[in-house]
Every structure is written in C-alpha cells, then in structure tokens.
Amino acid sequence: MGREVAESCVDGVVMEMVAAYCGRFYATKPELAARRIEAIGFQVGHQLTERYTMERPRFSDHLEAIKFICKDFWSELFKKQIDNLKTNHRGTFVLQDNRFRWLTRVSIDPSVESMDATENDSTTLGDSAAQTTSMLLYFPCGIIRGALTNLGISCSVTADMSNLPACSFVVRIKT
C-alpha cells in the first residue's frame, strides 16, 4: 500500500469543488456546472488508470476492461469492489455499489428521510439535497468515463441513485 491521507481530505475537496461549481460559479446553469464536475472526474480517472495499468497487459475486450474497473480500480479508490455487474451484451453495463462510500458520507440524511414528508419546507430541502447529491455523482461518473477512455473505450456514464446508499453506474459503450 502506498501513501495514504485521511478520507476527510478527499471528501472535503470534492464537496467544496461541487459546492463552488454549483453555488459560486454556475448557480443558474446547473448543466454547465455538471459538465465541469464531470470533466474534473474524467481527468482523475484518466490519470489514475494510467498509474494502475502500468504493469498490466492490454485488456482483450470490453468486458475485461469493465471487470478491471469493478475490481482493481474500485478497490484502489474505495477499498471494496463493485457488488454487482450486469450487462445486456450489447454495450451497456450496470455497475452497482451497494454502499457507495461518497454517498454514505454526505450529510444529507435528515432531508432524505423527509423526502416523503408532507411538510413543504422539508420537501424543498429534500429536493435540494437530492440535487446536490446528483451533482456530486457527476464526479465518479467522470472518473469511470476517464478510466475507460484511457483504456481505449469511449462511452457515456450516468448514475442512478434511486436506492440510496446504493448507487448504480450505467456505462454505455459508443460504437
């Protein structure tokens, strides 16, 4: 194991980056903020795979590369593997993490619980928390896309967080 830092350091910079882009820079243009956050993730994923695949043979096919993301790559980042991988065998892969680290540590719990409450205030709060979370998820989506792009696979990546704290990343390979 190489050098380590406290997880709070990563959480801190990621949260602040998302807050800065969604709040201070592009408050009225969420789609622009999303694109920037994704771009930052892309660069991180691209550089990390560069480092993690240095001593590996090339992957023979898409599935091999996706498996690498699910196992080795995810373990390096989150100390666990992706829990479930599904594919339609036509270029779409669904990577599910049952307890996605970055969502378990985001402090949105009270508002998430109040999502189905009838009270007006808390519903608004719930909405904005959900919005922040979905903004945050552009970052890991970018990381996955950057990683796969570096492995020669161009794709789009979206996230589905309908079952918090589980999170699914949907990879669609471009043909």
Partner 1 sequence: MPPATGPKSGDALFASVDRVNAELFTLTYGAIVRQLLTDLEEVEEVNKQLDQMGYNIGTRLVDEFLAKSNVSRCVDFKETADVIAKLGFKMFLGVTATVTNWDAEGTSCSFVLEDNPLVDFVELPDTCQGLQYCNVLSGVIRGALEMVSMKTEVTWVRDMLRGDDAYEMRVKLTKQVPEEYPYKDDD
The structure tokens 């980042």 sit at: 77
Contact between 25 and partner 1 (CB under 8 A)?
yes
DSSP 71: I
Q: ω before 30 within 30° of 0 (cis)?
A: no
Contact between 16 and partner 1 (CB under 8 A)?
yes
| Of the residues 28, 31, 51, 60, which one makes contact with partner 1 according to CB under 8 A | 51
Contact between 40 and partner 1 (CB under 8 A)?
yes
Residues 14, 117 contacting (CB under 8 angstroms): no
| Of the residues 5, 54, 58, 116, which one makes contact with partner 1 according to CB under 8 A | 5
- Stretch touching partner 1 by CB under 8 A, among 14-22, 61-69, 117-125, 159-167: 14-22
**Closest distance between partner 1 and the C-beta of residue 111, in Å?**
18
**Closest distance between partner 1 and the C-beta of residue 42, in Å?**
8
Residues 148 and 70: their CA atoms lie apart, in Å, by 11
User: H or E element: which one contains 160?
Assistant: strand 155-160
**Closest distance between partner 1 and the C-beta of residue 108, in Å?**
15
**Closest distance between partner 1 and the C-beta of residue 13, in Å?**
5
Question: Considering beta carbons, is residue 62 or 144 the nearer one to partner 1?
Answer: 144
Contact between 36 and partner 1 (CB under 8 A)?
yes
Residues 86 and 73: their CA atoms lie apart, in Å, by 17
**Closest distance between partner 1 and the C-beta of residue 156, in Å?**
19
Q: Which of 140, 141, 108, 103 is nearest to 122 (CA)?
A: 108
Residues 129, 12 contacting (CB under 8 angstroms): no
Judge residue 14's burial from the number of C-beta atoms within 10 Å of its C-beta, 0-12 exposed, 13-18 middle, 19 or more buried: buried
Contact between 31 and partner 1 (CB under 8 A)?
no
Sites of contact with partner 1 (CB under 8 A): 1-10, 12-17, 19-20, 24-25, 36, 39-41, 43-44, 47-48, 51, 76-77, 79
